Amino acid sequence: MALSLRAFLIMCYIKAKSRGEARPSYINFALRNLTDAGPPARAWSIFEESVRMAEQETSYTMIGAELSLYSGKVRSYLLQKRIPFVETHTTPWELFRTAPKRTKASAVPIMITPEDEWLQDSSVIIDELEKRFPACPVLPVTPVLRFASYLFELWGDEFWLPLAMHARWSHDENRALFVHDAGEALMRGYPMWLRNLLGNNHARLMRRLARSVGVTPEGAPVIDRFAQVQLDGLNRHFEHHAFLFGDRPSLGDYGLIGPLYAHLGRDPWPKRELIAPRPHLKAWIERMFQPSEAPGAFDADDRVAATLMPALRSIFDEMVPFVAACAAELRKTRPLASGGKIVRHMSPVSYPMAGGAHRRPALSYPVWMAQRMLDAFGAMSTTDQQRVREWLATVGGEEVLQLDLPHVERVGLAAVLAG
């Protein structure tokens, strides 16, 4: 059946081509998946989904998963921006063979554009789609909030990983949902026993990987203190504000929704123990997936609310030292052009967290994220840079502009020394 459906779709493509039309996204989707369709039922489900995409005339396809931290970030962005898209699952072949060739990484989310361009990494996806859909931008035009948006995105994307992994993998009751979601994400349409087998294998792998972000018996108490301080602080903030910087979600909101939705907001233990007791934070998580009819606005006075001071203290006192330590480790590596290797994890580093110290392997990727943030600062006018400097001085954050970063390039989910 998969073969016959594939032949039908190829004929559709030939017909569209003869009319001078681009290949529709639903044909891209079906041709991409029918190769690995497997059982007839799965082939038919793929065909039905491709028909649904055709009816919706969708231009963008997001390959994602409910359990994925960064899929939640991109999904929220697409919904809030009202960008037409269809989200689909992947296959082992696509994730581990095709994706590395197209994106240099075996990870979701992946955004496939109408031109069949594969975009990977949530920040890259958002940056590119902002160029194509400039209405209601996620970056404020005012300098302080613009810079703060990058700060909060980096904080949510990279510094919340220990809490996200701890909340999921330190509590056994979360495992069943993960196994189900992993099986659905990679083997939808296949027998339950096969989905469970793959889901359980993936769960064992991820539990081991949790140690790579410092989820250990020694690290758990400081992560728990971080959770209490920051979740309480965000709950107080969202009691008075719809989003971080006003009535419109910013890039910073999207950085935070990743860990707060997929790991803390869906997994049974953190959803019950960490999110449910904080109703304003819970409402913000829901709001991030429910776009309002009329787009809101950022704070017109270019001010970061005082209720975000607990978050800013973590950003400047904890995250900045972590990024500096990662940069120092990355400097010890060699550029690719000189025979160096692509490294994501490096030697362990210690940095402040929640009144104590946390230890985990240094990561190369936060260095690229920080470089992207400082490049955005460098692109500002002299007047706007001065306004950012003045704000940082009032909140004790001047050191973020003094980060000594090597020049790096992004390769998949890693950063490498340029040159």
**pLDDT in the model for residue 338:** 72
| DSSP letter assigned to residue 13 | H
Cα 336 to Cα 343, 362, 372, 412, distances in angstroms? 10, 19, 20, 14
Strands 60-63 and 110-112, sheet pairing: antiparallel
Provide the whole-model pTM. 0.87
**pLDDT in the model for residue 59:** 82
Cα 333 to Cα 122, 321, 336, 415, distances in angstroms? 26, 19, 9, 11
**pLDDT in the model for residue 14:** 46
**pLDDT in the model for residue 120:** 96
Which residues of the chain are modeled with pLDDT < 50? 1-3, 11, 13-23, 35-39, 53-57
**pLDDT in the model for residue 5:** 53
Two structure tokens written together for 118: 């594969």
To 5 degrees, how large is the angle CA 111–CA 64–CA 248? 75
The residue written with tokens 């707060």 in the block is: 260
Q: What CATH number labels 2-132?
A: 3.40.30.10
The residue written with tokens 């697409």 in the block is: 78
Long-range contacts made by residues 288-292, C-beta under 8 angstroms, separation at least 24?
288/76, 288/80, 288/249, 288/253, 288/254, 288/257, 288/261, 289/75, 289/76, 289/79, 289/261, 290/79, 291/79, 291/80, 291/81, 291/82
**pLDDT in the model for residue 1:** 47
**pLDDT in the model for residue 341:** 82
Domain ranges of the chain: 2-132, 143-168+216-417, 171-213
